[in-house]
Structures are given as structure tokens and as C-alpha cells.
Copies of this chain bind each other. A is one copy, B any other.
Amino acid sequence: MSARLELVALDGIGEIQPGDDLAAVIVDAATATGVDLTDADVLVITQKIVSKAEGRLVPLASVEPSAFAVEWAGRWGKDPRQVELVLRESSSIVRMGPGGLIISRTRHGLVCANAGVDVSNVGGGDVASLLPLDPDASARAIRDALASTRGVRPAVIISDSFGRPWRNGIVNVAIGSAGIEPLLDLRGTPDAAGREMQATVIAAADQLASAADLAGGKTDGRPVVLVRGYGWRPSEAGASALVMERERDLFP
């Protein structure tokens, strides 16, 4: 942990296409922004551009909705093909609520609205983007590409915005990571007054994702933020370590 941090949103990242080399895009954007990537930095990348680069896109016209999807969509004025994709991307349903909201658990164990399925109009047709199949592997691939082509190994976090029970508004969390310890376990460490802390495990990667959103923002087209000055701990663990084990979960 450092006393002084800087967050820099990278400039010049345009629309990402399937097959794009994100490591190269990020290096170019860093150059355009006037920053040199270092091994001490953290790169926070929004899920949306990772999914696009990986081709996790489904034209809605290609989706055949089930009877259940048609029924639920009809009840709430939703697109049944989008509902169908949400159900396909879910391993279990946590809540279905007013307005057609579906909160479910994805194959990654992430609990979020609409299983991360996001529909937008691309080139005249509605296209859904899905979460990366393995966001930790996506983060590792970007980190490895940066290392092999540029000799630089920053930590990499892939972020997405989630709602929360009991609190209004969405915050960014880490759905994938590479290089960085996502959970800072301070149990047994003395606190500022010298007392041992009993139950303090900090979701550092989630806090980094939230911090990055303050600089990148939703409307600005700056999907990559560099965090400089945060003393992260190296680890082979991915952001999957942030997913709570079902048996520990009081809200299954």
C-alpha cells in the first residue's frame, strides 16, 4: 500500500473488433497518453472490450428463445432472445424480479444482473456481448502478450460493473486478473495501534476496479486505466478467488 496513487485513463482506444490484439492496442494507447508502462503498474481493462476482442458476440437474430424465455420476456416487455441468452449464460437463478430483472450465477460463479449479457446495436443489427469464457485466462493472455512483445509485466485486472443488494447504484469489480493477489489477507497483521487484526481480508482487486472507473468513466470511451503507485502483491491466483465458496455463502 502506498500513500500516493495516480489513476490515468488511456487515450485513443477506438471501437474494438473481434480478433483485435488488446496488448498492442494498450501499448499504443499508453504511448498516445504519454505514459510508459512499468512492471509496478496495474492495468484495469473493462470487460466490454475484452469480450469484443475475443468475439464473444451473438447476433440476436441467431437466437431461438425457449418457451420460458418467451413467457418471461412477454410479461415484462423484454426481448425474448436476450432473455434466452441470459438463461443460457446462467448456471443458476438467484432472483427474478420486477421489470424482468434476472439476477443469476454465471458459470464463473459471478452473481450479477442479466449474467453479464449486454445488447447493443452494431452495424444495424442487435448484437449481444457475453462475458469472457475465462476472464482470468483473458487477463493472463494480455499480461503474457505485454511481457513477450514489450518486456513489461504490469498486473492486469478485467472489470465489470455490478449492482449490489441493499445499496443503490453499480460499482466496478474485478472479474478477471493476472499477476496480482486479488485478496489482501491482513489477518494477524498489527493495525495502526499495534493490535492484531482478526477478520480483515481486503478485496484489493475489486477496489482497484472501482477506482479505475472514477478515471475511465462510462461515457468517455476510455476502457483502460493505468493505476500507478499501488504496491500490489504478486500472485498466481486470479480474480476467481474473489468468488465466495457456496458453502460459506449466507445468501445462496
Seen from chain A, the residues whose Cβ lies within 8 Å of a Cβ on chain B are 1-9, 11, 15, 95, 97, 101, 103, 105, 109-111, 120-121, 161, 164-173, 182-184, 186, 189-193, 195, 197, 200-204, 206-208, 210-211, 213-223, 227, 230, 241-244, 249-251
A191 is contacted by which of B3, B215, B219 (Cβ under 8 Å)? B219
Q: Contacts A202-B218, A218-B197: A168 and B183 contacting too (C-beta < 8 A)?
A: yes
A200 to B217, CA, bound (A): 11
Residue pair A120, B193 in contact (C-beta under 8 Å):
yes
A215 is contacted by which of B5, B206, B251 (Cβ under 8 Å)? B5
Q: Contacts A165-B165, A189-B219: A171 and B1 contacting too (C-beta < 8 A)?
A: no
Q: Contacts A168-B243, A210-B171, A250-B103: A15 and B193 contacting too (C-beta < 8 A)?
A: yes
Question: Which B residues lie within 8 Å of A217 (CB)?
Answer: 1
A233 nearest CB across to chain B (Å): 13
Stoichiometry (number of copies): 2
Instruction: Please list 15 pairs of residues, one from A and one from B, whose beta carbons are closer than 8 Å in the complex, sorted by A's number.
Output: A2-B215, A4-B6, A5-B211, A109-B166, A164-B203, A165-B165, A166-B243, A167-B173, A189-B219, A192-B219, A192-B223, A197-B218, A202-B218, A211-B214, A214-B227
Please provide the 4 A-B residue pairs with the shortest distance between their CB atoms, ordered closest to farther.
A169-B203, A192-B221, A211-B211, A1-B217
